[in-house]
Amino acid sequence: IPKFLNSPETPIFSKGRLLYGLDRARKPIRANDQAVIVEGYLDVIALHQAGYENVVSPMGTALTEDQLRLLKKSSRRIVLALDPDTAGQKAVLRGLDAARSAMDREGELGFDARGLLRNEARLQADLRVATMPDDLDPDEIVARDKEEWKKLIENAKPIVTHVMDSLAAGQNLNDAKVKNQIAAQVLPLIEDLPSPMERDTYRQALARMLKVDERALMGTQAQGPVVRRKPRVAAGQSQKSDMSVVAVNPTLRMESYCLGVLFRKPELLYRLDRKFQEFGLSPLAVEDFEYTDHQLLFGVIRLAVEQDEKDHHHYVISHLPEAVNDLSKELLVRTEKLDLMDDKLMEELLARFMDLRRANAMANNNQIRFLQEEDQQQGGENMKMYREQTTQLSKLIHNLDQAKRKLSSKRQA
């Protein structure tokens, strides 16, 4: 015989639309302006007996949108008090999904990545999570110490903080894929927050946790990954291009532009290297690119200009890694209207490459700052090394700024 035997749904009794204890909890929820959701009936009974009457539970089901709609009539401040085990964490995420669907949203005007006005819906609710200690159920906690329950609820974490901590637990945060997966799940929650200051604070916290530049998170959130789609064509019409890039982040766009020009005319790399040296900067290198495919293609272009047996462009085409075939086609399409003989194009290319190098230096500087904070907490053994690296990067940024000013003066003269 099971500990709890759930009865089946009927037309009269729909468990997914009811909350256990709500009839008695409705007034206390309004009085406290807070609802606490626990997992079991016995937890509700024990907590009500202990004087905590703003507590309800689902009726043997996962938390549903209908149940949360019942709660929001009494309060928009909700605490999920669930077990710390895997099932409990999954219940938190399911409850969060239900809350994001059920709770009201308020429109906020903003601008998208293309500068177009858009209406962003912000979640009008305060969602928090209280994790039970020592693998205890709420009824066991309140039996041990009534005040302990009160403190647990008062110290409940904001949902964004809880999800960040839960997703990061036991993960390798040096793995780029792990960083991307965590960011993809947390950023939508951050964007749901109604307060701009809260959104900024949590973005900064996420950037510190993942050890990435906050601008990278902003790019992920605003633009998403590169998206390709097949354009619609009428029957009988030819299709000019298999795919088109429809969304890129700013760094990707800049790298694509610079690389597209070099792909069309690799010998421009000679002139760029010469100009960089005139400004006291090292020649262009694979490390100036953030994206792996771009690094691969630039590496081939660099090899092409360092050999004399073949035409540079033909060398690049014949030595392209298969992984960048689609990229090379896209770059050719996107740069086909450029006048490669125009001196202004060369100046523009030089300026953009300086911008890329500066952005990389800033990102590296931020990365070192995160590492310094960690190292300081662990005794500061590597502080000298980090200070030296920071000094070098600051000098590079200063030199790039000077070079950009000189270049700008020449262009205006």
Q: Please check whether residue 67 lies inside any domain of the structure.
A: yes
299 plus 211 within the same structural domain = no
Measured distance CA(413)–CA(408) in Å, rounded = 9
210 plus 311 within the same structural domain = no
255 plus 394 within the same structural domain = yes
Measured distance CA(58)–CA(41) in Å, rounded = 8
Q: What is the pLDDT of residue 6?
A: 65
- Read off the pTM: 0.50
CB 352 within 8 A of CB 272: no
Per-residue pLDDT of the chain (413 residues; tens, 9 = 90+): 565 566 677 777 777 788 999 999 999 999 999 999 998 889 999 999 999 999 999 886 677 777 878 888 888 888 988 765 545 555 555 555 555 555 544 443 333 332 232 333 444 667 888 988 888 889 999 999 999 999 999 999 888 888 888 888 888 888 888 888 888 888 877 877 766 777 778 888 888 888 887 766 765 554 433 322 233 333 333 333 332 333 346 777 888 889 999 999 999 999 999 999 999 999 999 888 887 788 889 999 999 999 888 899 899 999 988 878 888 888 888 888 888 777 788 888 999 999 999 988 887 887 787 777 777 777 878 888 888 888 998 999 999 999 998 888 876 66
Q: Please check whether residue 165 lies inside any domain of the structure.
A: no
Residue closest to 141 by CA, chosen among 261, 55, 269: 55
87 plus 189 within the same structural domain = no
387 plus 310 within the same structural domain = yes
Q: Please check whether residue 346 lies inside any domain of the structure.
A: yes
Q: SS3 letters for 181-243?
A: HHHHHHHHHHHHCCCHHHHHHHHHHHHHHHCCCHHHHHHHHHHCCCEEECCCCCCCCCCCCCC
Q: What is the CATH number of the domain that holds 47?
A: 3.40.1360.10
Measured distance CA(33)–CA(68) in Å, rounded = 15
CB 173 within 8 A of CB 153: no
Q: What is the CATH number of the domain that holds 393?
A: 1.10.860
What are the CA-CA distances from residue 317 to residues 259, 290, 300, 352 (Å)? 14, 22, 9, 24
281 plus 385 within the same structural domain = yes
Q: Please check whether residue 324 lies inside any domain of the structure.
A: yes
How many other CB atoms sit within 10 Å of the CB of residue 286?
12
Token pair 């035997």: residue: 5
Q: Please check whether residue 84 lies inside any domain of the structure.
A: yes
206 plus 290 within the same structural domain = no
Show which of 155, 186, 204 is a domain's final residue.
155
Q: What is the pLDDT of residue 277?
A: 93
95 plus 68 within the same structural domain = yes
CB 25 within 8 A of CB 70: no
Q: Please check whether residue 6 lies inside any domain of the structure.
A: no
Q: Please check whether residue 355 lies inside any domain of the structure.
A: yes
Q: What is the pLDDT of residue 98?
A: 56
Token pair 């085990």: residue: 85
CB 142 within 8 A of CB 48: no
Q: What is the pLDDT of residue 262?
A: 93
45 plus 117 within the same structural domain = yes
Q: What is the DSSP string of 131-177?
A: EPGGG--HHHHHHH-HHHHHHHHHTPEEHHHHHHHHHHTT--TT-HH
Residue 379, classified by CB atoms within 10 Å of its CB into exposed (0-12), middle (13-18) or buried (19+), is exposed
- Which domain, by its residues, includes 283? 245-412
133 plus 97 within the same structural domain = yes
Measured distance CA(87)–CA(103) in Å, rounded = 24
What are the CA-CA distances from residue 294 to residues 94, 143, 270, 329, 343 (Å)? 39, 61, 19, 13, 24
253 plus 388 within the same structural domain = yes
Token pair 């230096």: residue: 361
Q: Please check whether residue 230 lies inside any domain of the structure.
A: no
Measured distance CA(301)–CA(295) in Å, rounded = 10
- The total domain count for the chain is 3
Q: What is the pLDDT of residue 106?
A: 46
Distance in angstroms between the alpha carbons of the first and the last residue of the chain: 89
145 plus 187 within the same structural domain = no
Token pair 């709609």: residue: 69
CB 56 within 8 A of CB 19: yes
Token pair 């890129």: residue: 248
